[in-house]
Each structure stands twice: as structure tokens, then as C-alpha cells.
Structure 1
């Protein structure tokens, strides 16, 4: 039995990026309960971004900016019951 919160994004894909507005902040969140499976590669991406400023992994599809076009009415809270 498990109980807890699962962070998710509107498209159920994670956010992985350097935050340009805060120097040194790297965001890796919103894995919709799949963070454990993706932990090793996410750790490698974070390491690359922190030490090299870039990564060979394709993270272009995962910025926060992809949600900027969503209208407020398109944003819905997801309630999971188990």
C-alpha cells in the first residue's frame, strides 16, 4: 500500500532545464511517478548541466516555457484515487 503525492505537469512529461532567471538552478521535476525509473539518466543530465552547461541528452522538449501558451482554463488539477 502506498499513499502520497505525485507531481505531474499538464502534458505528463517532466520539466528538465537550467533556470535562466536564477544562476545555478537546474530544474528536474514533474516526472508523474516515473522519477525512480528515470533517476539515473536524470542524474546524468543534471551532472552535465551543472558541470558542462549542456548535455548530450535531448532535453529540448522539456522546458517550462511549453506551458506558457496554456490558457488558465486549460489547467486542471488531477486527482488520483487509489
Structure 2
């Protein structure tokens, strides 16, 4: 499988943490269309159908690390 670019990993990590495409665009100072294109290319590279599938595949193949996923405080207590 072809590797994701640094930018694709960065945008996918932001998406994995619950950010909308608009929030990602503002954070990175790019357009929402650019975010859509970056994510679309990442989905194709990973063979994913959607955001959740892309994140799952990226985690499974090591493109994203679990340490990049921020667990909300209310979930931390529930997992213990």
C-alpha cells in the first residue's frame, strides 16, 4: 500500500479527533475544499470508504498512532 503524505496524516489525525472539515481548514489556514481534497486522496490511498474507515485503516497499518487520538475526559473515566 502506498504511504500517506505528511499533510494527509496531519489532516486525518485532526479528523480522527472529531474536527469538522471547516474546523480543520481554519486550523491549518486552508480552504474547506482543500481539506476535502486531502481527505479524499487519503481515503483513496488507504482504500477507505469514509472518515471512520480511513482512521481505522490508518491506525491498523501504522499511518496514525493511537497516541494521536485524544480521548475526551468523560470517556477516560468510563474506560477505567
- TM-score, normalising length from structure 2? 0.29
Higher helix share: 2
Instruction: Identify the structure with bigger relative contact order (alpha carbons < 8 Å, sequence gap 6+).
Output: 2
- TM-score, normalising length from structure 1? 0.29
Higher strand share: 1
Q: Computing the radius of gyration over CA atoms, which structure comes out larger, 1 or 2? A: 1
